Chains A and B, each alone.
Chain A
Amino acid sequence: DTAVSQTPKYLVTQMGNDKSIKCEQNLGHDTMYWYKQDSKKFLKIMFSYNNKELIINETVPNRFSPKSPDKAHLNLHINSLELGDSAVYFCASTPGTGNSPLHFGNGTRLTVT
């Protein structure tokens, strides 16, 4: 069974559209994240939720809105997509303590045309 699963794996859409990416983890972890990996492979944290509460909110445009219906799920909704949003988005989870490694999903490759 996949520990951290994201859907869809690929997402191609036009500028101005609204899209969502879903993430689920079956590890029983308390904390979940969204990371963005750009075309140069640089990884940057976007959001983090601990037990459904937002705890990290980096400088991300308001068009990005995370939602955590329960601690096993963290979804990412993006409004009014722009060309610059094209990237690979990774969901991750961790038990929550400082030295616990993150477990990553396989990513969602978003292409905005």
Chain B
Amino acid sequence: AQSVTQLGSHVSVSEGALVLLRCNYSSSVPPYLFWYVQYPNQGLQLLLKYTSAATLVKGINGFEAEFKKSETSFHLTKPSAHMSDAAEYFCAVSEGSAAGNKLTFGGGTRVLVKP
């Protein structure tokens, strides 16, 4: 069975500082990994995805994530936080199948950006 753990339900950063959101996963097969962002009262938007092509994945809005198999991690980073980055971030894992893509989500990390 697959699972995802996001360390820290809340992260507070200053504008311009590094954003680091931690995600560890467990999966019985090589996983597909995703980061989603959720702004207030909205649905989830895809930030980036890992599908085994490259271990360092670049996404939208300046975010990137690095897949480390040995650590079963997929941490999300952004070098310089912007006020608009304040949102809830979700890491997700999928073992995939021919019939569909059952995503298992972590508990989410709320990012607060201080001016």
Q: Is the CB of A98 within 8 A of B97?
A: yes
Chain B, interface size category, equals 20 to 34
- Give the total of A residues in contact with B, Cβ under 8 Å: 28
- Which residue of A4, A43, A45, A99 is within 8 Å of B96 (Cβ)? A99
Known: A99-B49, A101-B34, A106-B42. A41 touches B88 (CB 8 A): yes
27 intermolecular pairs with C-beta atoms under 8 Å apart: A4-B43, A42-B107, A43-B44, A45-B104, A48-B100, A48-B102, A50-B99, A50-B100, A55-B99, A56-B102, A94-B100, A96-B99, A96-B101, A97-B96, A97-B98, A97-B101, A98-B94, A98-B96, A98-B98, A99-B32, A99-B49, A101-B34, A101-B101, A104-B36, A104-B44, A105-B43, A107-B42
Name B's A-contacting residues (CB within 8 A). Answer: 32, 34, 36, 38, 41-46, 49, 51, 88, 90, 94-105, 107-108, 110
